[in-house]
Amino acid sequence: RMAQVDTGGLGAPDICVLGGGFGGLYTALRLSKLDWGDAPRPRVTLVDQQERFVFLPMLYEVATGAASCWEVAPPFTEVLAGSGVEFVRGTVAGLDAESRMVRVTTGGGEGGGEAAERLLPYDACVLALGARATGYARVPGAEAHSRQFYTLDDALALR
């Protein structure tokens, strides 16, 4: 059983999970399935910039055409269906630990509609923002003679 999250007696706690990679996604799903005993079941919100969870170990199969995008990168809404976890597609613009609010910018990208700001309250916040390849351009000849391979777009570019 999970320890109770202090909500100041205001009911079900809000848990924000920031980042939808392996760590964030599986944390959100596990939180939604935990036995909370007599405590109210928390509201779990997963925030990620992308609309799809990318299963990184299978990216090469997208690049070779052995797998389709939906097999390797299903939409978060499908992965989370029936779990009770709310998905918010957006970029974390700020986190105020004192007021316990996460500021998220939603929309504004390709097909994302108007950019808007959304405030998400939290009683507990999980930071699972993942990794990003950096320093690639600093390696002499790397940009001219190789290509990065870490995203769905990278895999599609190799097809």
The per-residue pLDDT for 1 is 39
Taken in order of first residue, the domains within the chain and their CATH numbers are: 14-130+138-158 (3.50.50.60)
Show the DSSP H helices in 2-141 as ranges: 22-33, 59-64, 69-72, 76-79
Phi, psi of 23 (to 5 degrees): -60, -50
What is the pTM assigned to this prediction? 0.85
Per-residue tens of pLDDT for the chain, all 159 residues: 344 555 555 689 999 999 999 999 999 999 999 999 999 999 999 999 999 999 999 999 999 999 999 999 999 999 999 999 999 999 999 999 999 999 999 986 655 578 899 999 999 999 999 887 777 778 899 888 888 888 899 999 988
**Torsion sign (Cα): 19, 21, 27, 28:** positive
The per-residue pLDDT for 115 is 86
The per-residue pLDDT for 2 is 44
Contact indicator for 81, 94 with CB cutoff of 8 Å: no
Distance CA 35, CA 84 (A): 14
Rg (CA), the chain: 18
